[in-house]
Amino acid sequence: MKEERLFLLSEVNFGYDLKKPTLYVPHLEIQSNQLIFVVGISGIGKSTFLEGLGLMNDTILSGGCWYSNGTITDLNAIWKSEDKVISKFREDNYSFIFQDTNLMPNFSVGENMGMGMMMNGQSMIEVKPKLLEWMEKADLPLSIFDRHISEISGGQRQRLAFIRGVCQNFEVLFGDEPTGNLDKITTFKVMSLLKELLVKSNKTGIIVSHDLELALSLGDVILPILPSEPALLSQENQWTRNNNDWYTKNEKVVDPITKITQILSHI
């Protein structure tokens, strides 16, 4: 699986107030074809980082941020464009999964899952077999396919939103605590499915999570956000997996869960 540079960030401040940025990224290169976890304590800027990179909100205060998928795109320039240009860029390159499912209550389970594919011109007849296959993988009963959202449980809605996200046509999948409302077993199952999809399709996942064990189990790269003023996310501090071992600063990490917990807590 060939990895190429997908994002390049240089001296980027993230936040909502230029005078008081939340997060500083001096230099960061994100490679394609990886499952990347962004981790840090609550309120440190994980979602702010994701919102800027995913062009969901105006959180890139200063600095350079580029996306490369065949051609190099200046994300700052895209954000300053018309809304339709921003939307088109996201539709062509990104998909999203959130803890808040944002499902459409007046549509059926199947329609919610297949909405993105149908908006791209496919019919329900065409997309239904793929949706049913994913429902089976996510342990969703096929009998709920034609039910309305109000008729299914909260856990089923979360898995439904997950399927909707992974079934889109995307190069980068952003997830903001996408399994936050799921139990541990279901979380590991659906995230393992996501990893399988990314590997098979040569896509990239960037996931914000507080679940360090999940990140260590399934991630290819971990980007820890370190407590400081502003918080710091840098290439220098990233963790990378080599087979079953984790490395940072060219050194193998002994007892990764204890080490990363200490780093994030600034112990």
pLDDT digits (tens, 9 = 90+) for 85-100: 999 999 899 999 887 7
The pLDDT assigned to 2 comes to 63
**DSSP designation for 183:** -
Q: For the chain, count helices (H), then strands (E).
A: 9, 13
Q: Reading across the β-sheet that carries 60-68, which strands appear in turn?
A: 72-74, 60-68, 5-14, 23-31, 231-232
Q: How much is the average pLDDT of 27-37?
A: 97
Where helices occur in the chain by DSSP H, the ranges are: 46-53, 75-79, 83-93, 109-119, 124-137, 154-166, 184-201, 212-218, 256-265
Q: How much is the average pLDDT of 93-122?
A: 86
Q: How much is the average pLDDT of 184-205?
A: 88
State the CATH number of the domain containing residue 70.
3.40.50.300
| pLDDT band for position 80 (cuts 50, 70, 90) | very high
Q: How much is the average pLDDT of 52-60?
A: 95
Q: How much is the average pLDDT of 175-190?
A: 86
Return the percentage of the chain with pLDDT > 70, whole number: 98
Q: Residue 39 above 80 pLDDT? A: yes
Q: Are 169 and 129 in contact (CB under 8 A)?
A: no
| pLDDT band for position 203 (cuts 50, 70, 90) | very high
| pLDDT band for position 1 (cuts 50, 70, 90) | low
Most confident of 2-11, 32-41, 127-136, 137-146: 32-41
Q: Residue 120 above 80 pLDDT? A: no
100 contact partners, CB below 8 Å, separation of at least 6: none
User: 188 or 266: whose pLDDT is higher?
Assistant: 188
178 lies in which domain range? 5-265
Q: How much is the average pLDDT of 228-233?
A: 95
On average, the pLDDT of the chain sits at 91
**CA neighbor of 221 nearest in space, from 14, 42, 7, 55:** 7
Q: How much is the average pLDDT of 93-108?
A: 85
pTM for the model stands at: 0.90
Q: Are strands 5-14 and 23-31 parallel, antiparallel or unpaired?
A: antiparallel
**Residue 60 three-state SS:** strand
Helix axes 154-166, 124-137, angle to 10 degrees: 120
